[in-house]
Amino acid sequence: MSWVELKVRGLREEADGILGIELAPLAGTLPFTWQAGAHVDVQVEGGQVRQYSLINRPEEGCVRLAVKHAADSRGGSRWLHRQVRLGDRLKVGTPRNVFPLKAGTGEVVLVAAGIGITPLLAMYRECQRQSRPVRLWYFVREAAQWAFVEQWRNDAAVSLISGLPSSAVIDRLRGELPAWQTDAQLYTCGPEGFMAAVLGLAGERGWPAEALHQEHFQAPKAASDPLPAGQQLVLARSGKTVELRAGESLVAAAERVGVSIATSCGMGMCGACMTPVLGGDIEHRDQYLSEAEQGSGQWIMPCVSACRRGTLTLDL
């Protein structure tokens, strides 16, 4: 992971509990670019790393993020909301995109809840730039939580919906979500239950799995079984073998024998630790790999995933 220091050039309350942060290069131009749907790692208090979607286009010459002050914050959003000031410097990683807008000309359907609007905002703007048909549904609990909303008040392609109880959200969408048409793609971002309901409804409307895309903001609840112990982890290129301890991640086990695996989120979401597998019975616990990638047995996210039994051999 390479990091670049950027300066806080703007801070703005985008909505109740949502802080807009604009980051500019210290000098010259940004050393990276990105596509709609990308996110960056940001170093927060104590060197912890958090991921935030990029809501703007690189041509603007700055990075714009929107950070929700999470009630259950593990420190990242609370620190950004309370401590960061204009002129401060933040370390930002090179953008990664695990939620890309697929190329095509078919309609793009975007369904956001709460802070899940951030990657979809970038996608909406990109579709407009490409003159690609796009529809956006944006749900919030209360109108005060709507971010970036002024631009959409008179936009017939955007449905702004607030104040519905969770049980009524999908009913509302049921009356409006179009049936799938060739080359159409649907992207959703929001709480896990919301996304599951959106994708379920889309499935009823004939949307095929390959046209449905979701982005997770939080790691799913930990697997109920603790990481198993006693299996052998073989690091083929390094010529090292280590026995896994109970509850120990593969990353930590490799570290014990001097093999370092680069990580970022540590939650199976960002892709930083993606490692090729040479053999073994993998228990995938990540949100990053697609079903097909998991099924192939060729890749593992060793920050969270495990070896079910026997020996797991990694190309490290």
Nearer CB in complex with ligand FES: 233/265: 265
**Contact pick of 30, 170, 273, 312 for ligand FES (by CB under 6 A):** 273
Distance (Å, rounded) from C-alpha 139 to C-alpha 116?
A: 9
Nearer CB in complex with ligand FES: 202/259: 259
Task: Name 275's bridge partners.
Answer: 300
Nearer CB in complex with ligand FES: 173/282: 282
User: Quick check: 289 binds ligand FES (CB under 6 A)?
Assistant: no
Nearer CB in complex with ligand FES: 20/266: 266
User: Quick check: 269 binds ligand FES (CB under 6 A)?
Assistant: yes
Residue 217 Cβ, how far from ligand FES at the closest point, in Å? 13
Task: Name 10's bridge partners.
Answer: 22
Quote the tokens at residue 115. Answer: 């802070």
C-alpha closest to that of 18 among 191, 124, 148, 122:
148
User: Quick check: 316 binds ligand FES (CB under 6 A)?
Assistant: no
Residue 285 Cβ, how far from ligand FES at the closest point, in Å? 10
User: Quick check: 266 binds ligand FES (CB under 6 A)?
Assistant: yes
Residue 306 Cβ, how far from ligand FES at the closest point, in Å? 13
User: Quick check: 265 binds ligand FES (CB under 6 A)?
Assistant: yes
Nearer CB in complex with ligand FES: 30/307: 307
Task: Name 22's bridge partners.
Answer: 10, 64
For residue 130, the Cα-to-chain-centroid distance in whole angstroms is: 23
Interface with ligand FES by CB under 6 A: which range of 5-13, 130-138, 182-190, 271-279?
271-279
User: Quick check: 90 binds ligand FES (CB under 6 A)?
Assistant: no
Residue 288 Cβ, how far from ligand FES at the closest point, in Å? 5
Write b or e for each residue in 146-163: b if 16 or more Cβ atoms lie within 10 A of its Cβ, otherwise e: bbbbeebeeeeebbebee
| C-alpha R_g of the chain | 21
For residue 115, the Cα-to-chain-centroid distance in whole angstroms is: 12
User: Quick check: 272 binds ligand FES (CB under 6 A)?
Assistant: yes
Distance (Å, rounded) from C-alpha 159 to C-alpha 179?
A: 17
Quote the tokens at residue 143. Answer: 């109108």
User: Quick check: 250 binds ligand FES (CB under 6 A)?
Assistant: no
User: Quick check: 217 binds ligand FES (CB under 6 A)?
Assistant: no
**Contact pick of 21, 282, 303, 312 for ligand FES (by CB under 6 A):** 303
Q: Which DSSP state fits 96?
A: B
N-terminal to C-terminal alpha carbon distance within the chain: 17
Q: Is residue 176 packed enough to be buried (19+ CB in 10 Å), middle (13-18) or exposed (0-12)?
A: exposed
User: Quick check: 271 binds ligand FES (CB under 6 A)?
Assistant: yes
Residue 263 Cβ, how far from ligand FES at the closest point, in Å? 4
Distance (Å, rounded) from C-alpha 30 to C-alpha 190?
A: 29
User: Quick check: 288 binds ligand FES (CB under 6 A)?
Assistant: yes
**Contact pick of 118, 145, 264, 294 for ligand FES (by CB under 6 A):** 264
Residue 50 Cβ, how far from ligand FES at the closest point, in Å? 11
Distance (Å, rounded) from C-alpha 306 to C-alpha 5?
A: 34
Contacts with ligand FES by CB under 6 A lie at 263-266, 268-273, 286, 288, 301, 303
